Chain A
Amino acid sequence: MSIYVKFTDQLVGQVRDDLERPHAFAWERVGFITAGAMASSGGDLILFCRRYMNVADEDYEASDDVGAQIGPEAMRKAAELAYNTKSALLHVHMHKGRGRPEFSRTDANSGFEFVPGFFNVQPRMPHGLIVLNETGARGLIWIAKDRSPLYVNDFLQVGPQLKRIGGK
């Protein structure tokens, strides 16, 4: 199964603008993108990003181990949005640099801890992780709670210019 993620340039801009803001004590910010989905007749999965939900300043927790640790309230709000809108939930954060970003070991490990839990609130949809940088994107998508995630093959940015901004 190949996986594609489609989003508007406006949404990507909104995400970058939010994640680039400094936080009082967290080293970085994170957020959530909701998405609809379809399966093509060829068996590909395409996610259509809907909206971005930032994590409120007060929902971050102090941590010496990770750049951004968010508390249960942030997770609850994201899960509630995914449940109410029947959406896929994509955790998103940013790395510095250009080109295709890569997940760090910490990113991937924490994803394996919390993304399968998204299926408890919205089992109809795939869920995952996205990392953006200044020009590119990388994604890991779980299609089931108990399966290994798959890398996103490509990200399609729709706006005044049609762009492919990363992937496998």
Chain B
Amino acid sequence: MSQLDRQSFLGLHSHKRLAEVQVGLIGLGGGGSHVAQQLAHVGVGGFVLVDPDHIESSNLNRLVGGTHEDIAQRRAKTEIAARLIRSINPDVRIEEHVSKWQEAIERLKCCDLIVGGLDSVIAKDDLDRFCRRFLIPYIDMGMDVHTMAGGRYLIAGQVALVLPGSPCLRCMGIVTEEGLIAEAQKYGAAGGNPQVVWPNGLLASAAVGLAVQMICPWNDQLGRGALLEYDGNKHTLRPSGLFAHLQAAGCAHNHPDETGEMLFDIRRHIR
């Protein structure tokens, strides 16, 4: 049997289709490292890996593939993800960008799909808009640990699939004016929120499911976008009841005439 025989239900040509696809992974920490590993197992053939950070001791509680040796060598998170992916699929195409995603946009524009594990609300908003401009489906993952009464905690999170023309992160309430203002007052710092491996893994698995379903659908229940809500105290992941209403209303935050490069001029590209 070959590596992908057990997933033949994804379709006769799924191996080829997955190998052709190029996925942008933005943020290769707790969530992104899981996504990288799973997409490599599934057989995705192209990756654009983007993260400005190098691994630290505090990442080792959740960063899949990270080791003490990586910390000693202060390896980039993209390098760790690339090593992990290649160990599963040596024939893969990988571009690594140890930078903010805004510095890798030339390559990201050509991705078929982007998965983001960004903490910053401002960055989520910008990335959502970028993906819409270039008609790229965007899957956003996020989790938080909230303090409750009595000194207890609530783990919560979400996975959102944003398609061009469907509700955006602002429509879904993931990006809010209050959140943007609060973060701007901290000069764009999202802060070091508590993070643990199992919600990261669960949300990443849901994100991978949404991604693979778009590339090789194995059923007819394909939604136009998705918002899945995670309750880490009840250990549930459910479709948001709000999303159907949002779909009916459409997105008021983006305009179809905003696609493509703003100042594009074909005359500059004629040789």
Interface flag for B257 (CB, 8 Å)? yes
Closest B residue to A161 using CB positions: B217
A47 — which chain B residues lie within 8 A by C-beta?
260
Given contacts A37-B264, A125-B264, A161-B214, contact A85 B270 (CB under 8 A): no
Q: Is the CB of B269 within 8 A of A50?
A: no
Cβ-neighbour of B107 out of A41, A158, A159 (below 8 A): A41
Q: Is the CB of B257 within 8 A of A87?
A: yes
Cβ-neighbour of A159 out of B106, B109, B224 (below 8 A): B224
Contact digits for B257-271, partner A, Cβ 8 Å, 1 yes 0 no: 111110011111110
Interface flag for A38 (CB, 8 Å)? yes
Q: How large is the interface on B (under 10, 10 to 19, 20 to 34, 35 or more residues)?
A: 20 to 34
Given contacts A51-B257, A158-B164, A160-B163, contact A38 B109 (CB under 8 A): yes
Interface flag for B222 (CB, 8 Å)? yes
Chain B interface mostly: loop
B246 to chain A, nearest CB (A): 16
B257 to chain A, nearest CB (A): 5
Please report which residues of chain B, range 230-265, place their CB below 8 angstroms from some CB of chain A when the two chains form the complex. 256-261, 264-265
Closest A residue to B164 using CB positions: A8
B215 — which chain A residues lie within 8 A by C-beta?
162
Q: Is the CB of B134 within 8 A of A38?
A: yes
Closest A residue to B132 using CB positions: A48
Closest B residue to A141 using CB positions: B266
Q: Is the CB of A37 within 8 A of B224?
A: no
Contact digits for B59-74, partner A, Cβ 8 Å, 1 yes 0 no: 0000000000000000
Q: Is the CB of B112 within 8 A of A162?
A: yes
Q: Is the CB of B134 within 8 A of A48?
A: yes
A55 to chain B, nearest CB (A): 19
Contact digits for A121-143, partner B, Cβ 8 Å, 1 yes 0 no: 00111100000000000000001
Given contacts A7-B135, A158-B164, A160-B163, contact A37 B267 (CB under 8 A): no
Give Cα A73 to B116, complex, Å: 46
Cβ-neighbour of B106 out of A37, A40, A147 (below 8 A): A40
Please report which residues of chain B, range 29-85, place their CB below 8 angstroms from some CB of chain A when the two chains form the complex. none
Interface flag for B145 (CB, 8 Å)? no
Q: Name B's A-contacting residues (CB within 8 A).
A: 21, 106-107, 109-110, 112-113, 133-137, 163-165, 214-215, 217, 222-224, 256-261, 264-270
Q: Name A's B-contacting residues (CB within 8 A).
A: 1, 6-8, 10, 34-41, 43-51, 85, 87, 123-126, 143-144, 147, 156, 158-162
A sample of 7 cross-chain residue pairs with beta-carbon separation below 8 angstroms, ordered by A number, consists of: A8-B163, A39-B261, A39-B264, A41-B106, A144-B267, A147-B270, A158-B135
